[in-house]
Chains A and B, each alone.
Chain A
Amino acid sequence: MFMGKRWRWLVAGTLCLLPSAIVNAAETGLKSASTFLSEDLKKREADETANPGMLWVIEGEELWNKIEDGAGKSCASCHGDAKASMKGVATRYPAIDPASGRLLNLELRINACRERHQGKVVFPYESEELLALTAYIARQSLGMPLKVNTDGAAAPYYENGRELFYLRQGQINLSCAQCHEDNVGRHLRGDIISSAIPAGYPAYRIEWQTLGSLHRRLRACSLGVRAIQFPYGSEEYLSLELYLAKRAEGSHIEAPAIRK
């Protein structure tokens, strides 16, 4: 099994060197939770007029263009039309921020922009505004394959993320891998275990009855095994997010996905 993982990375690594190679989820062997949804929910996810997550995408579009207090800059002031400028952006996050040298995900990157270039107070993690902007920006990469960089300054985060993925945690003493590698496709309560591909986030989770971030979902997983829940935006979850994104390289962005 250990040999199998290494072999998969070797193949994926080789394929990445071929410019025309399109690695999709089926080739990586990973299964998105979207594939396990009922027909009703699959249709709902694909239908922009019915997917409740789209309410946050349209909100994000409004926020993108909005100049607060009638002064200063909006996102559009620098980035113009998001459909053009943000295309592909979500596929390469989390990424190292050159200015601080830290790993940032999309949420933290939005806040970094807000603080540095707009001179504004950051949005709290999981606030409606941050969810909306993240959903809007992620949506501009719909259908595009995940491709994060794990070299250089990102390497230690990637290694930490991998360790966390395989670490048994909590009172229930389970690692991420034990569900999301060993038991993909099997039932857990009313849900079917997926391969934990992050490409659907921020996602509308029916249990939450609202849109939520990947870190919210990771916190729910930590709670599920009765382990410590790290804070939103923590280095632990950022490292895990990077590992999950690299592991699912080639999987297509499907945000905002519908989850149960």
Chain B
Amino acid sequence: MLAQQLVNGIISGATYALFALGFTLMFGVLNVVNLTYGVYFSTGALIALYATRHFAASILLTLPLAAVATGLIAVVIDGLLLTPLRRKKAPELASLMVTLGATLLLYSLMTAFIGTDIQRFPPAAINPSAIEIGSVRISRSQMLIVGTAFAMVALLLALMRGTRLGLAIRALAENPDVARLMGVDVTLVTFFVSFVSGTLGATAGILIGLNYNAIQPYMGEAMMLKGFAVIIIGGLGDIRGALIAGLILGLLEGLTAGYVASTLKDAVGFLLLVLTLWFRPVGLFGHAAAKRA
């Protein structure tokens, strides 16, 4: 029982970490809080669902396709809403407000066209077989989740640490003006970061959609609550913090569902968020910085 709860916790923790990674990346590098991020989660899952249904293709093919498509959507949204604000050097909260409006707009457009009914992947897309190790059961889709999450994280870390593009991204995060002076094409790098974030959000959406096999437009909204919790616990803009906080949240949710009450599961994240704000507002690994004019 305990082992199974822990495994389930790690699996949802891996998706939370993956989801929060894109969110914290946008905040850390682009210095905007982009609330449309929850929409990417839903969009990714919906595109994958329709592609799988329509072309009767394997999920292994539609997953990357839908992730890339959502990444492109994220670039368009960034270009339309956030680039103008950045150019005006608008305050952080302006980005929050504009993306909040856009989120409501996009969610209600999606529901206007496809409704709020829960949709499912065709049975053929999901392999129901599972492996059993002792008393622990892990399904194929859960293995896909953990595998994809680890692969994406490894790729991202390699990109950030080992390439010139990663260096440019880190320079942009440090100081956009200085990065520009050092020859970084800020616009291009900004779009690239949006693309990567959109891809990460969409991948998390597809994986969660596969795991629970229940997809509808507002699914990203509930996920945003976990996203906020993870990035605040891990520290805003902190990649390592987001990974660890995601896993912690998944594990604690699993244990709460198993040993306390499954209805309380979704409140765990918020409780941790409030506790973090009270006792360690900089997050797990953060250090305090003064706000300057």
**Chains A and B form a bound pair:** no
Could you tell me which A residues sit within 8 Å of B by CB distance? none
Could you tell me which B residues sit within 8 Å of A by CB distance? none
